[in-house]
Amino acid sequence: MQGNLQLRFDERFELQSGEFELPLSGVTVLFGRSGSGKSSLLRAISGLDKRTHGHLTVNGEVWQQGHKHLAPQSRHIGFVFQDAALFPHKTVKQNLAYGIHRLPKNFKPADFDQIVHRVGIADKLDRKVNFLSGGERQRVAIARALLMQPKYLFMDEPLSALDWRAKHQLLTLIEELVAEFEIPLFYITHAPPEVERLADRIVFMQQGKIETIETLQQALARPDSPLFDEQGAVSVLIGQPQHRVESGWHPVNLGEDVLWLSESSPIHVKSVRVRILAKDVSLALSDPKDLSITNHLPVTITELIPESEHKVLVRLRLRDGQYLFSEVTQQSVERLHLHPDLALYALIKSVAMTE
């Protein structure tokens, strides 16, 4: 996908993306504060805003050229809106059928029963949509989009209105569906944990412009990453769960080291992403045995990054090559004589599977 899109309203630019190029695979997250133009960009890409101008080519097909644009009806997209946007005068089943009836005749219909079961709404088909919970509504919206057999899937903050439990369940569902159906997903959010869980790459937006496009690894390696605005620096480690329990702990392999998690990994998954806040990582020159913290990992310092308020961000390399941030005070750096290439132990107070 390659383009440059603008949206102007009363002499003011709502969107002025600048030239961008995005691969059509995996999950692309559009990240930014509210008002940063991420929704405008997604609406412009999907053709929902007629005021859009600029150019956009997707997979060799011209979607936008000046003010001329390919109708959204012909773009083979599936769109899941922030509050589901279900038709309130129709039942769940009628909502799902709405798009199917409008597919071109030569389209082989998707397997209705399979998708409805997969998304978990098989028992809700005859309900009025007003009697669904927030999570159920989004499930219907996702099924409705998938039934269109889209080539590209767009989601605009689909979880923002949900409670944490529904959020957690739906994130897992979205993650699994992306892997199963192999549809490129463009996903808007302002929540770093969602980014860390789903993203392959991130489009950072500010004031209607695309600032940078980075892979998740690049974005997490940058100490000033916008992803860290809220909770400070975060590391995301990818590990292989052993799918067993030992005294209440669930071991996850990081190369030859093991990370102990208090929660179990979803069955069938081969790898999990775990999220560690830099301020939850302490450093010790020797491996302490008499400590309540369970997770001790041998690491090497690669970089010391001074931060404000006498804090220092320490970038550490694990034995399997992954990176981990630790936040310590300037005083600790001096007391322990921390310097690059020093081998020591990272003590991790809390590890969470990304939710």
Partner 1 sequence: MQIFGAEIDLQPIWLTLEIATITTLILLIIGTPLAWWITRMRSSVKVVLEALIALPLVLPPTVLGFYLLIIMNPNGTLTEFLRWFGFEGQLTFSKTGLIIGSVFYSLPFTVQPLMHAFEAIPQRLLDAAATLRAHALDQFLTIVLPLSQRGFLVAATLTFAHTVGEFGVVLMVGGNIPGQTRVVSIDIFDHVENLEYTEAHILSGMMLVFSLFVLMLVYGLNRRFGVKVG
**Pairing relationship of beta strands 27-31 and 201-206 according to DSSP bridges:** parallel
- Please, which residues bridge with residue 59 across strands? none
Q: Taking the complex as a whole, how short is the minimal distance between the CB of residue 89 and partner 1, in angstroms?
A: 5
Q: Taking the complex as a whole, how short is the minimal distance between the CB of residue 273 and partner 1, in angstroms?
A: 30
- Measuring CA to CA, which residue among 348, 328, 325 is closest to residue 227? 325
Q: Is 245 helix (H, G, I), strand (E, B) or coil?
A: coil
Q: Does residue 98 touch partner 1 according to CB under 8 A? A: yes
Residue 178: which H helix or E strand, with range? Answer: helix 164-181
Q: Does residue 144 touch partner 1 according to CB under 8 A? A: yes
Nearer to partner 1 (CB atom), residue 90 or residue 209: 90
User: Please, what is the Cα angle at 38 between 36 and 42, to 5 degrees?
Assistant: 155
Q: Site mask, partner 1, residues 147-186, x = CB under 8 A?
A: -x--------------------------------------
Q: Taking the complex as a whole, how short is the minimal distance between the CB of residue 72 and partner 1, in angstroms?
A: 5
Q: Does residue 106 touch partner 1 according to CB under 8 A? A: no
User: How big is the site for partner 1, counted in residues (CB under 8 A)?
Assistant: 25
Nearer to partner 1 (CB atom), residue 5 or residue 145: 145
Q: Taking the complex as a whole, how short is the minimal distance between the CB of residue 199 and partner 1, in angstroms?
A: 23
Pairwise CA distance, residues 233 & 253, whole Å? 23
What's the distance, Cα to Cα, between the start and end of the chain in Å? Answer: 28
CB neighbour list of residue 233: distance below 8 Å, 6 or more residues apart:
223, 225, 277, 278, 313, 325, 327
Q: Does residue 145 touch partner 1 according to CB under 8 A? A: yes
Q: Does residue 67 touch partner 1 according to CB under 8 A? A: no
Q: How many CB atoms lie within 10 A of CB 128?
A: 13
Residues at the contact surface with partner 1, assessed by CB under 8 A: 43, 46, 48, 71-73, 77-79, 81-83, 85-89, 98-99, 102-103, 130, 144-145, 148
